[in-house]
Amino acid sequence: MSQLLEKLHKDHINLARLLDLLSAQLDALFAGHESDFDLKIELLDYIEHYAEQHHHPTEDIINAAAFRKASMQEHKALYERVSREHEALLGMAHRFRETLEGIMQGEILRREEVETRGREFIALQRQHIDLEEQELFPLIDQALSKKDWEKLESQIPHMDDPVFHRQDYNRFRSLIDYLELHESE
Ligand SMILES: [Fe+2]
C-alpha cells in the first residue's frame, strides 16, 4: 500500500477514536451528567480543520487521479458520493461546533435538536470512513501505479497532524490532555 493511503488509513483510525469519544461525551451530556464543552469543541475544531485543510483535500487529489483511469469509470457513482459526503461532513461539523459554542454562551436550544445534529454527524462520519476503507481504497490501490503514487506524493503538501503529531497545545489543550490520560483505552 502506498504511503499516502497508509497515512489516510491512520487518520481514519484517529478519527474513529475521536468519534467514539464524542459519542460517549454526548451520551453523558444527554444523561444529564457533567460535560466538558471545551473538549467537545476542540474535538470538532480538529475534525473540521484538519479534515478541511488536509485529509479531504488529499483524498480529493488522489480520487481525481484514480478516477481518470479507464478501469475506474464504472465506479463513477462512488466518486460522486464520496465527494458529496466530504462537503456535507464539513458543513455538519461546523454547524455542530457552532451549536455547542452557542450553548456555552448561554443560548437555549432544544435538546433534541442538539442531539440530532451531533448523532447525525457521527453516524455519517463513521459510515463515510467505512465506505472509503472498504470500497474506495482497495479500488484506488489497484488503479494507481507506483509512478502515479510518486507523482501524487510530490503534488500533495505535507501537513503535521496538530493533535496526534505536532500537538498544538495552545489550540487543543483539553483534547491532547484527555487523549494522553486515556492512552491505553
Ligand atoms: Fe477519509
Answer yes or no: are the C-beta atoms of 125 and 44 closer than 8 Å: no
* pLDDT at 165 (0 to 100): 86
Q: How far is residue 26's CA from residue 41's CA, in Å, rounded to a whole number?
A: 12
Number of C-alpha atoms within 13 angstroms, CB side, residue 83?
12
Amino acid identity, residue 51?
A: A
CA 9 to centroid of ligand 1, rounded, Å: 8
Q: How far is residue 53's CA from residue 176's CA, in Å, rounded to a whole number?
A: 20
CA 86 to centroid of ligand 1, rounded, Å: 8
* pLDDT at 184 (0 to 100): 63
Q: How far is residue 87's CA from residue 89's CA, in Å, rounded to a whole number?
A: 6
**What does the pLDDT profile of the chain (185 residues) look like in tens digits?**
789 999 999 999 999 999 999 999 889 888 888 778 889 999 999 998 888 889 999 999 999 999 999 999 999 999 999 999 998 998 898 899 898 888 888 888 787 888 888 999 999 999 999 999 999 999 999 999 999 999 999 999 888 899 998 789 999 999 999 999 887 66
* pLDDT at 185 (0 to 100): 61
CATH domain 3-157 topology: Four Helix Bundle (Hemerythrin (Met), subunit A) (1.20.120)
Answer yes or no: are the C-beta atoms of 66 and 144 closer than 8 Å: yes
CA 68 to centroid of ligand 1, rounded, Å: 19
132-166 CB burial, b ≥16 within 10 A, e <16: beeebbebbeebbeeebbeebeeebeeeebbbbee
CA 60 to centroid of ligand 1, rounded, Å: 9
CA 115 to centroid of ligand 1, rounded, Å: 24
How distant, in Å, are the alpha carbons of 46, 63, 138 from that of 130?
20, 16, 12
* pLDDT at 177 (0 to 100): 93
* pLDDT at 153 (0 to 100): 94
Rg, C-alpha atoms of the chain: 18
CA 59 to centroid of ligand 1, rounded, Å: 7
The length of the chain is: 185
* Lookup: cell for 124: 455519517
